Amino acid sequence: MIQENVPLAPMTTFGLGGAARWFVEVRSEVELAEGLAWAAAQGMPVFVLGGGSNLLVPDEGFPGLVLRIDIRGVQQDKPWSPEFFVGAGEAWDSFVDVAVDSNCAGIECLAGIPGRVGGTPVQNVGAYGQDVSQTIRQVRVFDRHRSELRWLTNDECRFRYRQSIFNTDEPGRYVVTAVVFQLRYGPPTLSYADLQKRFSARWKAPGLREVADAVREIRRSKGMLLVDGDPDTHSAGSFFKNPIVNAGLLGTIAATAGVAPEAVPHWPAGDGRIKLAAAWLLEHAGFVKGFTDGVVGISSRHTLALINRGGATFADVERFEQRIRATVEAKFGVTLTREPVVLG
């Protein structure tokens, strides 16, 4: 059923923005095709909404049709198989629990991430030593160019750091309806330093459930786990991507900050480039945890989480974002890129 003038702020973790002129809750692939056909006949723009955890809604809302994907279902290929067919509308964190309870490894370090399954291949969601591209075998999509349902293989998704065909190469062409995950039976991933430290004193290796629970605790301590009534978590997660720059810039950044090059957190990124920690850049530009700017600010627990302190508008967030980006670029010569998507 098509609804009119539906507020979108309650459907996002940031909790701000205007309304959708038209809105449909999509519960099947048939309803998806019908909604897209209706919008095409009206000549109106379409936006596909998942869990709203990586989304900023402008104050004026959206003048077209918003399709909120609520296609559910989790099916294991066979009782003994680590392969899962998951509807795009399933809550991601709930699926992590299903996998862990089935003793299937591969996504236990992605516990506590908000949003829905359909959004994970779009952003190539990752954290604590894992990302979904390592476990996705296929993605079922509606191809808006061909007006048909089809499957994309892992290679066809063109996964990169926080990127895929869905949000870079051909944005807007595909609508994800389901994802097939190829997990594995085996031990959890413990490549992330915080997890290694947490379990270092153990004589017995942790199980999948212990690791998933530990990840949620870490995320909670950093304000990256949604908690009702806690304004410190009213964010879109990490607001800025870790920038990738030429390795030759490292010395200049270190000198500007007054530290040795090895004191600047960085990792090899190939082709003479390095990845920098965006959080470190913000902190050394004066934007520390708990920094406030009117009704917006930075989480007291995570430098990269810009938050809605109550009553914020999209314009407030955009102004604060521009202030941070301009300051970091002026000081270090590094351009930060926003991670959340802006509707429209």
Residue 83's pLDDT band, with cuts at 50, 70 and 90, is very high
Tens of pLDDT, residue by residue over 139-154, are: 999 999 999 999 999 9
Q: Which two tokens stand for residue 5?
A: 């003038």
Closest-CA residue to 243 (of 308, 125, 169, 325)? 325
Mean pLDDT of 66-74: 97
Say if residue 122 is exposed, middle or buried (CB neighbours under 10 Å; 0-12, 13-18, 19+): buried
User: Is residue 148 annotated as part of the catalytic site, yes or no?
Assistant: no
Cα 19 to its chain centre, rounded Å, is: 22
Tens of pLDDT, residue by residue over 109-122, are: 999 998 899 999 99
Angle at 336 between CA 127 and CA 343, to 5 degrees: 75
pLDDT at residue 324, as a whole number: 98
pLDDT at residue 319, as a whole number: 97
SS3 316: helix
pLDDT at residue 224, as a whole number: 66
Residue 192's pLDDT band, with cuts at 50, 70 and 90, is confident
Above 80 in pLDDT, residue 330?
Answer: yes
* Other CB atoms within 10 A of residue 326 CB: 12
Catalytic residue among 31, 318, 329, 339: 339
Average the pLDDT over each of 21-25, 102-106, 198-202 and give the range with the smallest value: 198-202
Average the pLDDT over each of 26-30, 57-61, 109-113, 189-193 and give the range with the smallest value: 189-193
β strands within 129-262, DSSP E:
130-131, 136-143, 148-153, 174-182, 244-246
User: Is residue 339 annotated as part of the catalytic site, yes or no?
Assistant: yes
pLDDT at residue 205, as a whole number: 82
User: Is residue 202 annotated as part of the catalytic site, yes or no?
Assistant: no
Please give the mean pLDDT across all residues of the chain: 93
149-to-12, 111, 141 alpha-carbon distances in Å: 27, 30, 6
Round to whole Å and give the CA distance between 37 and 118: 21
Catalytic residue among 133, 164, 238, 299: 238
SS3 286: coil
Residue 230's pLDDT band, with cuts at 50, 70 and 90, is low
* Other CB atoms within 10 A of residue 292 CB: 12
Catalytic residue among 162, 198, 219, 301: 162
Tens of pLDDT, residue by residue over 18-42, are: 999 999 999 999 999 999 999 999 9
